Amino acid sequence: MSEQVDLTTIPISPTGDHSNSGDIDDTEGGGKLVTVFHDKDNFNVKHPLQNKWTLWFTKPSSGKGDNWNDLLKEVITFNSVEEFWGIYNNIAPVSELALKSDYHLFKEGVRPEWEDPQNKHGGKWSYSFKDKRSVDINDLWLHTMLAAIGETLEEEEDGEVMGVVVNVRKAFYRIGVWTRTIGKSIPNRGDGDVAGGKGRSVEKGQKILLAIGKQFKDVLKLPANELVEFSGHTDSAHSGSSRAKAKHTA
C-alpha cells in the first residue's frame, strides 16, 4: 500500500460499521492481506498517512512551580492508520483525564509550544465546551484528530495546520487547531523557519485561515450561531493567556 488512505472510508474504530468481513485476496503475493479491521493484532498491511504525527501529553501541575518542559511529555510518533488506532485504543480517553491535562497531536518535528520555530508566527482556532456533562468530548476529539491526520482541515498546498490540542479544565473542555501563520506572509529570516505562508498575499492567507476555521467548526458539529475563534500566539503570550482576544471568527 503506497497511497494515502481516504480516512472518510475508515470507521471510527477497528470494529466499526464500515469494516468488511473476511480477508482480502492478495493476488500478487498469493496470500491474504489482513488489515487492522480484520484482525487488530495480526494484520500485515498498513495504510500510510501523508505526514508523520507525534502525540504529546501535558500532565497537571503540582502547583509547586513545575517547569513546562517537565510537564510536557512526548508519547509516540506514528505514520499509519493502523498505528493511530493502536495508540488511540490504548490511551486514556479525554473524559478520564485529570483536570489541567492536555493532549497535543502535532506534525513530527513540531513541539506544541508557541516558541517552536514553526509555530512562533502562527495562531490557533479554538472552541470551549462549557457544559461538560452534555458533550461527548471523546468523540469530538477523535474526529478532530482524524481530520488532522487525514489532512481534511485544509487544502494540500496550504501547509497551515501544525497540530490539534484538547485541554481539560474545571469549567470547560477546549479543542484547538494550531496554524503556521496568522494569515500573513512570513519573511525568510534565515532562522530555520519553514515559511508555509511565504509569498502569499494577505487576502489569500486570510481566506485559507477562514476556510480552516469553517472546516474545524464542521468537525466539532457546532450550530451556525456558535463561533470558533482565532488568536495569534504572540497576542496570547503577551496577554498571558491562551484566550487572547480573537482576530477572526468562523
In the chain, what is the greatest distance between 2 CA atoms, to the nearest angstrom? Answer: 62
| 3-state SS assignment for residue 68 | helix
Domain boundaries, the chain: 7-249
pLDDT at 200: 80
pLDDT of 86 reads 86
Residue, of 7 and 182, whose pLDDT is higher: 182
Is the pLDDT confidence value at 193 over 50?
no
Q: Which residues pair with 168 in a beta bridge?
A: 101, 173
pLDDT band with cut points at 50, 70 and 90 for residue 149: very high
Distance (Å, whole) CA 85 – CA 41: 11
Could you tell me the pTM of the whole model? 0.78
**CATH for the stretch 7-249:** 3.30.760.10
CA distance 120 to 122: 6
User: What's the pLDDT tens digit per position in 4-58?
Assistant: 434 444 443 444 433 333 333 343 444 676 766 666 667 676 788 999 999 999 9
Q: If DSSP states are collapsed to H, E and C, what string results for 193-214?
A: CCCCCCCCCHHHHHHHHHHHHH
> Residue holding cell 497535543?
104
pLDDT at position 43, please? 67
* Residue % of the chain over a pLDDT of 70: 72
CB-neighbour burial class of residue 29 (10 A; exposed 0-12, middle 13-18, buried 19+): exposed
